[in-house]
Amino acid sequence: MTWDEIEAEEVIIRTKSEELIFKNPTVTKISAKGVESFQIIGSYEVVERIEISEEDVKLVAEQAGVSLEEARKALIESKGDIAEALLKLTE
């Protein structure tokens, strides 16, 4: 069995509904009997995953008269709610 430390800056575990983000974790790769596994130690943040279509981004950008990046940011902040994103951008 071998243990190797990996100098990781960030580890992200994605599920359908959220991401677990470990910043500056301690990561160890463990190899035994031809199988590799990883151990992650550290604090993490849970972030809800939001699916935003490019069509929604374009719609919000056009309606609010902003860039695609600004529209995407507003949609993320409003958890994909187009009306709320537009209100944030036009206030």
* pLDDT digits 0-9 by tens, 22-74: 999 999 999 999 999 999 999 999 988 888 999 999 999 999 999 999 999 99
* pLDDT digits 0-9 by tens, 2-11: 999 999 999 9
**What integer pLDDT is reported at residue 2 of this predicted model?**
95
Sort residue 88 into left (φ over 0), alpha (ψ -120 to 50) or beta: alpha
Please list the residue range(s) of the chain that carry CATH number 2.20.70.30: 2-48
pTM: 0.61
**What integer pLDDT is reported at residue 68 of this predicted model?**
96
Contact residues for 18 (Cβ-Cβ < 8 A; gap 6+): 46, 47, 48, 49
Structural class in CATH, domain 54-90:
mainly alpha
Give the integer Cα–Cα distance in Å for 51 and 29: 32
**What integer pLDDT is reported at residue 51 of this predicted model?**
86
Please list the residue range(s) of the chain that carry CATH number 1.10.8: 54-90
Structural class in CATH, domain 2-48:
mainly beta
